[in-house]
Amino acid sequence: MTDFAATKAMFDLPEGVIYLDGNSLGPLPRAASDRVNDMLVKEWGQMLITGWNKAGWMALPTGLGDRIGRLIGAEPGTVVTGDTLSIKVYQAVASALELCPDRKVVLSDSGNFPSDLYIVDGLLRSLGPDYELRVVAPEDVAAHITEDVAVLMLTEVDYRSGRMHDMKALTELAHANGTVTVWDLAHSAGAIPVDLSGCNTDFAVGCTYKYLNGGPGAPAFIYVAPRLADHVRPALSGWLGHEAPFAFDLDYRPGSGIERMRVGTPPIIQMTALSAAMDIWDMADMADVRAKSINLTELFIARVEASCPELELASPRDPNLRGSQVSFRFADGYAAMQALIARGVIGDFRAPDIMRFGFTPLYIDEQDAERAVEILTDIMQNRLWDAPEYKVRQRVT
């Protein structure tokens, strides 16, 4: 059994704060500050450039990839970290398209994170006018997987509502139609059990600053199925994905397997912070995390619905159909969220009217969920959100 009291003690959460936004940016692991400081002072400071070999910096992208892989059902050697998620989406979709040279359509849904759609739109524009990004309603995806679709690109858990797609069923249907799959796990990795290998997924990408707690700007990750990893051709063919980067050949030859999805110099300071976060994940079992997450979200929904009738559930009611977040609709949701934040309950807001609450069992427990509902109830019943200072929109919502 995962010891959640022990994992909670490993985070440096500000006194009096109930943090329900780990689905957006995870909190600071206590060990990260010393770890990063040691890396700066003892490794960068003392080893200088020899740190790439002596401190093992060059192996961090794949080492961290394997540790993330355990949480998402990926075999060792199939995940690598680096770059940002938007870039990894580009890489995965570009490589997936090359596997289907006779098809020109990328299928996605309107619940996808906009950056994924923007990135594919830009990629397709560079490929030529015959290419098409087809965006359908989430519930219509299965019906649109047809034999002209090259790539199915979906985010498994909807960032606004927490609604989950059935990765296994959609991947099977895609394969039956000769379509390659790219899954975005931004709201899945560390939130729900994922079985990339069991689902026979082709490509997956995700970020490490949300549920994995790697810190702001932490690197993304990419998975390529081992059956494809030695065949795919990376569109972002940077020197560190080359078979022999230090041969400095003028021609690009892809490295073996997942190594070819590396692009350029890895962000070692961020990766060091992420490695402190992964130490906590090494103590956790995803089945325990999921069971506790469901308890927390069920409790939160029941209590909020009982005491705040103005809020309308925007997440699936069936816990098996939602990720590890709960969203409520409220016309003045932005102001209500600001009022909550002012009282130490941190969630976030997504336009036009969604209040999001992330439940992260590594450091959130039942008392936190109950206390958050008490504060929310006070705000709603006494209209405490209806104050001018809560209505001024900030740059990041």
Ligand X SMILES: Cc1ncc(COP(=O)(O)O)c(C=O)c1O
Q: Is 237 in the site for ligand X (CB under 6 A)?
A: no
Least gap, CB of 185 to ligand X (angstroms):
8
Minimum distance from residue 16 beta carbon to ligand X (Å): 27
Question: Measured at the alpha carbon of residue 158, what is the angle toward residues 155 and 163, in degrees to the nearest 5?
Answer: 120
Give the contact letters, 116-145, x = binds to ligand X (CB under 6 A), - = no.
x-----------------------------
Q: Which is nearer to ligand X, 194 or 207 (CB)?
A: 207
Catalytic residue of the set 19, 90, 113, 221: 113
Mark 66-95 with x for binding to ligand X (rule: CB under 6 A) and - for no binding: ------------------xxx---------
Please select the residue that binds ligand X; options are 11, 90, 159, 330, rule is CB under 6 A: 159
CA distance 208 to 215: 8
The DSSP H or E segment spanning 174 is helix 167-176
Q: Cβ neighbours of residue 164 under 8 Å, at least 6 residues apart?
A: 156, 157, 158, 192, 316, 321, 322, 323
In which element (H, E) is residue 4 found? helix 4-9
Least Cβ distance, residue 115 to ligand X (angstroms): 4
Residue 225: both structure tokens together: 């199925």
186 belongs to the binding site for ligand X (CB under 6 A):
yes
Q: Which residue among the candidates 90, 209, 221, 330 is catalytic per the annotation?
A: 209
Give the nearest distance from C-beta 261 to ligand X in angstroms.
15
Who contacts 215 (Cβ-Cβ below 8 Å, separation ≥6)?
A: 25, 26, 28, 32, 209, 270, 273, 274, 277
Token duo for residue 246: 């230090």
Q: Which of residues 327-356 bind ligand X (CB under 6 A)?
A: none
Return the amino acid letter for 184.
D
Which residues are known to be catalytic? 113, 184, 209-210, 356
Give the binding site for ligand X (CB under 6 A).
84-86, 113, 115-116, 155, 159, 184, 186, 207, 220
